[in-house]
Amino acid sequence: TAGTNYGEELDYTITGIDAGAGVVAAAERAIEDYDLEDWNVQTSSGAAMTQELTSAIENEEPIIVTGWTPHWKFEAFDLKILDDPENSFGEAESIHTIVREGLSSDMPEAHEMLDNFAWTAEDMDAVMLEIHEGTDEVEAAQNWIDENQDVVDGWTEGIPEVDGDEILLAYVAWDTEIASTNVVALVLESLGYDVSMSSMEANIMFTAVANGDADAMVAAWLPGTHEDYHAQMEDQYEDLGPNLDGEAALGLTVPAYMDIDSIEDLKE
């Protein structure tokens, strides 16, 4: 194989995120698929991963992270996603909106807005990048709405306002989902809802919507990343389909200055 072997230098460690993330499961699958038994995925959080990535790049050191796109890191840094000939990380996929059973009759206005919610990777990137550059999450979401009022009007057109009905959005504190959930929360507020956002582990997010403890989430990566959660629970909630269509993807991600192009290069 080509490229430098980074195993020893990296202590055979891939820098992961939270244990419940699909991208961590996919990295563990890659270790099997490519016979990388010396390697392990260190779990932490999305924020810890981006911090380690940032400091590695500041020091021009090697690092391998569990990456995904859309994500601001591709705007902020010169990165590459390692080739994955075994397809451990799956194909490009979509991000779906999922709501609890009964939402369509209990809160038809919210249901309609959530069903209408759809944007692009470029939109999501804009919100993420602004948050990364230091703007408060809610403010960054509001700025995007202000700049894209025509898009947002399309999500709310013809929907009557409500009078302070409470609605709970579940999410995981991944940068992508912090961006989308904040935007959706503000749009529901503009319709008169009293919106709460609650961040939790991925499995708890799916369970909360399945058992009705949360009203909705906009964070289901399908058909691949969250396949296991979805297969277990899809009969217990309503899948409203993609809010970001076919532009989401996972992969082992490294700084462009690293002398490596494929996951296969990690094998000694």
Cβ contact 95:221 at 8 Å: yes
Using CB under 6 A as the binding rule, whether residue 155 contacts ligand PBE is answered as no
| Residue owning tokens 């898009």 | 151
20 HSE (CA, 13 A, CB side): 15
Q: Which is nearer to ligand PBE, 39 or 68 (CB)?
A: 68
Q: Pick from 39, 174, 193, 206: which binds ligand PBE (CB under 6 A)?
A: 174
Q: Pick from 6, 15, 21, 251: which binds ligand PBE (CB under 6 A)?
A: 21
Q: Which is nearer to ligand PBE, 68 or 117 (CB)?
A: 68
Using CB under 6 A as the binding rule, whether residue 216 contacts ligand PBE is answered as no
CA separation for the pair 99, 210 (Å, rounded): 8
Q: Which is nearer to ligand PBE, 43 or 225 (CB)?
A: 225
> What is the size of the binding site for ligand PBE (CB under 6 A)?
12
Binding string, 233-252, against ligand PBE, x = CB under 6 A? Answer: -----------------x--
Q: Which is nearer to ligand PBE, 107 or 114 (CB)?
A: 114
Binding string, 56-75, against ligand PBE, x = CB under 6 A? Answer: ------------x-------
Using CB under 6 A as the binding rule, whether residue 225 contacts ligand PBE is answered as yes
The minimum distance between CB 138 and ligand PBE, in angstroms, equals 20
Here the contacts of 134-143 (C-beta below 8 Å, separation 24 or greater) are: 137/178, 137/179, 137/182, 138/182, 138/186, 140/179, 140/182, 141/179, 141/182, 141/183, 141/185, 141/186, 142/186
Closest CA to 252 of 9, 4, 53, 47: 53
Q: Which residues contact 73 (CB under 8 A, 6 or more apart)?
A: 50, 53, 67, 79, 253
Dihedral angle, C-alpha 36, 40, 45, 51, nearest 10 °: -80
Q: Which is nearer to ligand PBE, 6 or 174 (CB)?
A: 174
User: What are the residues binding ligand PBE (CB under 6 A)?
Assistant: 17, 21-23, 68, 174, 176-177, 202, 221, 225, 250
